[in-house]
Chain A
Amino acid sequence: MKAHEEAEFRQYVAARMDRLRRTAFLYCRDWHTADDLVSTTLVKLYEHWRRAQQAENLDAYVHGILAHAWLDERRKPWRREQTVEDVPEHVQPTTPLPDGDLFALLASLPPRRRACLVLRFYCDLSVEQTAEILGVSTGTVKSQTARALEALRGPAAELYDRSN
């Protein structure tokens, strides 16, 4: 990488660091792991910086790397997640969610469903971009997102209803 490219890379990273860390935290709920995920993402981004810059949406490209870094990370056996997993389809808190409950509900979502939610509503990516990142159809993204929001009834579902 040439000096001016590296300078651009550093500038991009500095501008996006906070958003990337927060996104990673939403995935894993642990700042230590979040920073590991961001570091992994940035190393890969550095490797493919030229290709990344040609992407239609650089931020979407980077969020794709981050989402995959997390999906891979959580599969590692030392993360101690259960092999068979699913969540109740209908979690219906009756009162507004305190922050802790919101994270607990997020964590209870199956990983791809959680990724759909984060990519769509925190990273502001389109259904198409989310589908491309996760390697699924747009229909799957829509259904996974709807199920995730159903599980997060309360403030999230309220916002979703308003936006539709």
Chain B
Amino acid sequence: MRDILDEAIGAPPASTVDIDRVVAAGRRRTRLRRLAMASPVVPAVAAVALAVTTLGGSPAAPTNPIPLQPGAATGAASGAAPVYDETPEQTQERLATALADALTAALPGVTLTDAPSGDPGVVVTMYDDPLRYEGSVILAADSDENQLSIRSLPGGPEPTPTTPASGQAVWTQWYDSCADVPSADEESPEGYTLTTECDESLGADGQTIVVVSTVCDDCPGQPTLRRDVYVTWTNARVLVAITNALKSDQPGTTSLAELLLTKEQLVAIASDPQLTVAA
């Protein structure tokens, strides 16, 4: 079997895995985790996330970095997100803490688990090319589980979607208007009709909010199976998406329950200026 697969794979292209960068990233994460565990004072609500996340902040760093341009924070409706004076590590911490706080407030008693590692809490990680901060967290409440993902990046020219030969999108289309969202219905492999709904609005701080929902029309209760919220600031972009498809491939479970967060709750979370990474 391995031989067949190896033969099918053929000769791989040159590796882009840079071991020196891996080691540097590993050192950084190890250091941050150590510092987080040594941090003496953590606000009560953030304690759950911070104590267990691998991306805690330095004890010397301010827990809440000060915005340099508090446009959004002041409610000036300028559409500009605040610019924070902070290191990438502090940005990771700020985003993780803000997201954990928002989720805990929206869903009291929710259990948060970092999806990649399975560790408790929320972890946000910085990536290059293009610069972005991403995190994925499993929300467990009662007997339901959803997965919520966040991508936060600076504003500027829209990233170019790229689709390699395999057909897997490396970068997704960014929607700042419902006019750009494909509206054609899809049929799931199970035969359900999936429709796309889109709402567009202006946030209290002047940011554009586009909500794309995938609804199963012929499922009992017509649940929304996935919802993506694109928030476009003049200087930042935030995508927060939630899906309930976690267990669709496991026997005896269903992926057809309603999402744990309402549209209003998800929009409120995604629109939070504290989740932005403004340039």
Contact = CB atoms under 8 A, between A and B. Distances in A.
A26 B245 contact: no
Interface string B93-113: 000000000000000000000
B111 to A, nearest CB: 16
A80 to B, nearest CB: 5
Given A43-B25, A46-B26, A75-B149, A83 B225 contact: yes
Contacts of B189: 82, 84-88
Contacts of A6: 23
A47 B33 contact: yes
B239 A31 contact: no
B57 to A, nearest CB: 17
A84 to B, nearest CB: 4
B99 to A, nearest CB: 15
A8 B102 CA distance: 42
A139 B151 CA distance: 37
B44 interface: no
Q: DSSP class of A's interface residues: helix, strand, loop or mixed?
A: helix
Interface residues of B, number: 65
Nearest to B255: A84
A21 interface: yes
A112 interface: yes
Of all A-B residue pairs in the complex, the 6 with the closest CB atoms, nearest first, are A46-B26, A77-B241, A110-B249, A78-B172, A121-B1, A84-B188
Given A39-B22, A75-B243, 15 more contacts: A30-B170, A38-B17, A39-B21, A44-B116, A46-B30, A75-B147, A77-B226, A77-B241, A78-B169, A78-B239, A83-B243, A83-B255, A84-B194, A84-B255, A102-B4
20 contacts: A10-B23, A17-B15, A22-B6, A26-B5, A28-B168, A30-B166, A30-B168, A33-B170, A35-B15, A38-B17, A42-B17, A42-B22, A43-B29, A68-B117, A69-B116, A78-B239, A85-B248, A102-B8, A110-B248, A121-B2
Interface of B: 1-2, 4-10, 12-13, 15-19, 21-23, 25-27, 29-30, 33, 54, 115-118, 134, 136, 147, 149, 151, 164, 166, 168-172, 186, 188-190, 192, 194, 214, 216, 225-226, 228, 239, 241, 243-246, 248-251, 255-256
